[in-house]
Amino acid sequence: MRQKLILDCDPGHDDAIALLLAARHPALELLAITTVAGNQSVEKTSLNALKVCSLAKILDVPVAKGMNQPLIRPARHAADIHGDTGMDGPEMPAPTCSLAPQHAVDLLIDLLLHSAGDIILVPTGPLTNIAAAIRREPAILPKIQGISLMGGAISVGNVTASAEFNIWADPEAAELVFACGRPITMVPLEVTHQALATEEIMQRLHTLPGPVPAFVADLLHYFADSYRQVFGFPAPPIHDPCAVAAIIDPDVIAFKEMHVAIECRGHWTEGRTICDIYGKSGFSPNARVGYALSFERFWSLLLDTLQLYE
């Protein structure tokens, strides 16, 4: 039995790689791709999703455009990391596939309501679509097997001193999702900053034949330049595929049960994930929070999957 999932994303260089992993790994059945405003506007992230699907011949999975701004705030994007298109770097032709007619929130609700409770949601951008679906149709909650999200940080943020981008972009949506009562797997910066595309990894990637690995290499070269200039990283971290890998291989990330609260109003801490490592809050854990990555296990899983593309 393959694990069914819906990828909710804002491509985005690392979202594109997460999409490729989710669509082709033999342990997974990708039911839909829903897009959201985040790294860039939802129009741009949706176009990017279609381009990736066209390039990789992922033509049997619906792509639905979702929320164009956070629940109550104006949109905030990450052009400093992902560029004006949201996926700068590779030269990509116009897509050969089209968006699904449904809004992403409607598609999420429809797929979940008609499921047997066997679908995991994998959000790799702001949680706006997921929160909007839960708020509009609470009956989907028992149908969500789990949520494996890339977002948050135990300690240091990447968009402010306190906050990681995906949570900071729509903290009210994150607050709703973390309080929804469904099993949550949180893959924070502490994990994803260990998933570095080092020189040795890039050499292994360049040995893989075909247009898809070449596209991923182009993505990572641009991403490497962004992370070197903005953060001083020696190699780019591949954030979003970690949330997919956590579903495929339970041993690829080490987790600890914690209570996670979302700060929506702090002057210095807006968008921070407050992770109660030592159980001091008195609240029961509401998430499995990752803290360590098995580097070789993760990269072997990802590179082996990219080899499956023609």
152-172 confidence digits (pLDDT tens): 999 999 999 999 999 999 999
| pLDDT at residue 89, rounded to an integer | 93
pTM beyond cutoff 0.85: yes
The pLDDT of residue 173: 98
pLDDT at 307 over 90: yes
pLDDT at 144: 98
Domains contained in the chain, number: 1
Residues involved in catalysis: 10
Which residue from 29, 82, 77, 89 is spatially nearest to 221, judged by alpha carbons? 89
* pLDDT at residue 241 tops 90: yes
Tokens found for residue 204: 């292994």
Mean pLDDT of 3-31: 98
> Binning pLDDT at 50, 70 and 90, where does residue 257 land?
very high
Average confidence score pLDDT of the chain: 97
Residue 258 pLDDT level (bands cut at 50, 70, 90): very high
Share of the chain above pLDDT 90, in %: 99
Q: Average of pLDDT values for 80-85?
A: 94
Going by C-beta distance under 8 Å and a sequence separation of 6 or more, which residues neighbour residue 116?
A: none
* Residue range(s) defining the domain that contains residue 123: 3-306
Q: Determine if residue 279 is left, alpha or beta; phi over 0 gives left, psi from -120 to 50 gives alpha, anything else beta.
A: left
Task: Please report the DSSP string for 36-67 in residue order.
Answer: -SSSS-HHHHHHHHHHHHHHHT--SS-EEE--
Residues 6+ apart with CB under 8 A from 150: 18, 123, 124, 166, 187, 192, 239, 240, 242, 243
Calpha distance 29→189 (Å, rounded): 26
Q: What is the CATH number of the domain that holds 90?
A: 3.90.245.10
Structure confidence at residue 310 (pLDDT): 80
Q: Do you find a cis peptide bond into 12, omega within 30 degrees of 0? A: yes
What is the predicted pLDDT for the residue at 23? 98
Polymer length in residues for the chain: 310
Identify how many contiguous H helices and E strands the chain contains and give both numbers. Answer: 12, 9
Structure-token pair, residue 85: 């298109």
pLDDT in tens, 20-55: 999 999 999 999 999 999 999 999 999 999 999 999
pLDDT score at 167: 98
The dihedral through the CA atoms of 181, 165, 206, 83 has a sign that is: positive
- Averaged over 134-146, what is the pLDDT? 98
